[in-house]
């Protein structure tokens, strides 16, 4: 039975340290489908037929890709397992080019949010939040989950991260001062709650609250999506921070590596490749990359 071979493969991959949750679910689904149709060995036509049931092009490609990798393993033990061809396209979709704010955009956005809504803590909350996102590159979820104890002399302790790992984000003295000014106003507003950012409901700020405030402020200053351009979002402040940090990257190859690793760690990326993606974000960065490549090819190596 194909199901037994799949379970053996899943156990082997997990013994090697892979979580293999989604992949295992895919393969169990394929084995059940194949066995139900009377085929107890991998068949290329059945694999493609099953994979085509995915909802999107990427999901269909991932389904087939998992079967292909399993088939290679199974074929080594039993040649009756066929080796399907990757005929449904790439398994990963291309990441879109991010929206990048200019310095003037950020200044206008901050001015807009500081004047929006009622003359209450709301103005200071979003002014401080947006400024913090712009100067640190934090994810929005990381910022709104900050507690008083997470603000230290060495920086911000980010405890609730995308990859379940904590990290320390150093802060410039001006950012420390801005947070201190905000907290002086905020502490008396909801003294029983230790979240740094709270809403007018005197409860922890929600992602939807921040997104709504951003759309209102962006609309007032005319930051709207243009044809063939990415949409400006609050998360784009993180993209902008990463790009500006990359633009300051040194020339020396060893220092470039150190710079990229440091930035990847600072941003809380699970893999440094996620940081390299930002190199595609602006003409300036692409120009720098092409110039470095040209110098390397002609022999001007650092």
Distance in angstroms (rounded) separating the CA atoms of residues 153 and 240: 26
Would you call 92 exposed, middle or buried from its count of C-beta atoms within 10 A (0-12, 13-18, 19+)?
Answer: exposed
Q: Which helix (H) or strand (E) holds 51?
A: helix 44-51
Q: Report how far residue 237's alpha carbon sits from residue 107's, in angstroms, rounded to the nearest whole number.
A: 12
Q: CA-CA-CA-CA torsion for 236, 228, 244, 252, nearest 10 degrees?
A: 130
Q: Which residues, at least 6 apart from 87, have a Cβ–Cβ distance to it below 8 Å?
A: 48, 64
Judge contact between 81 and 41, C-beta under 8 A.
yes
For residue 162, the surrounding DSSP H or E stretch is none
- What is the token pair recorded at 115? 């004047």
Taking alpha carbons only, the member of 275, 278, 238 closest to residue 257 is 275
Question: Token pair for residue 215?
Answer: 């759309």
Catalytic machinery residues: 139, 162, 235, 238, 269, 278
- Take residue 83 and report the two structure tokens written for it: 């080796």
H/E segment holding residue 167: strand 167-169
Look up residue 157 and give its DSSP letter.
Answer: E
Q: What distances in angstroms separate CA 180 from CA 35, 186, 196, one per listed residue?
A: 64, 10, 11
Residue 293 near residue 258, CB atoms below 8 Å? no
């Amino acid at each position: 039975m194909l199901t037994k071979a799949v379970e053996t493969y899943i156990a082997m991959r997990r013994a090697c340290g892979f979580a293999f949750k989604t992949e295992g679910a895919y393969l169990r689904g394929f084995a059940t489908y194949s066995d139900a149709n009377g085929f107890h060995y991998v068949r290329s036509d059945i694999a493609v037929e099953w994979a085509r049931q995915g909802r999107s092009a990427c999901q269909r490609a991932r389904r087939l890709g998992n079967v292909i990798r399993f088939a290679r393993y199974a074929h080594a033990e039993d040649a009756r397992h066929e080796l399907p061809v990757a005929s449904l396209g790439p398994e990963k979709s291309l990441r879109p080019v991010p929206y990048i704010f200019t310095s003037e955009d950020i200044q206008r956005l901050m001015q807009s949010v500081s004047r929006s809504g009622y003359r209450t803590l709301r103005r200071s909350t979003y002014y401080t939040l947006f400024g913090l996102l712009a100067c640190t590159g934090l994810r929005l979820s990381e910022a709104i989950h900050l507690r008083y104890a997470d603000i230290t002399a060495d920086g911000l302790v980010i405890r609730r991260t995308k990859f379940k790992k904590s990290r320390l984000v150093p802060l410039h003295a001006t950012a420390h001062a801005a947070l201190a000014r905000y907290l002086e106003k905020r502490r008396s507003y909801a003294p029983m709650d230790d979240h740094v950012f709270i809403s007018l409901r005197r409860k922890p700020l929600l992602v939807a609250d921040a997104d709504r405030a951003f759309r209102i402020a962006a609309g007032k200053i005319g930051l709207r999506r243009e044809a063939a351009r990415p949409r400006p979002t609050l998360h784009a402040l993180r993209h902008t921070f990463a790009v500006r940090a990359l633009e300051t990257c040194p020339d020396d190859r060893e220092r470039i590596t150190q710079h990229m690793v440091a930035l990847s760690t600072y941003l809380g990326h699970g893999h440094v490749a996620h940081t390299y993606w930002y190199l595609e974000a602006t003409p300036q960065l692409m120009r720098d990359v092409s110039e470095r490549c040209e110098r390397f090819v002609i022999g001007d190596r650092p």
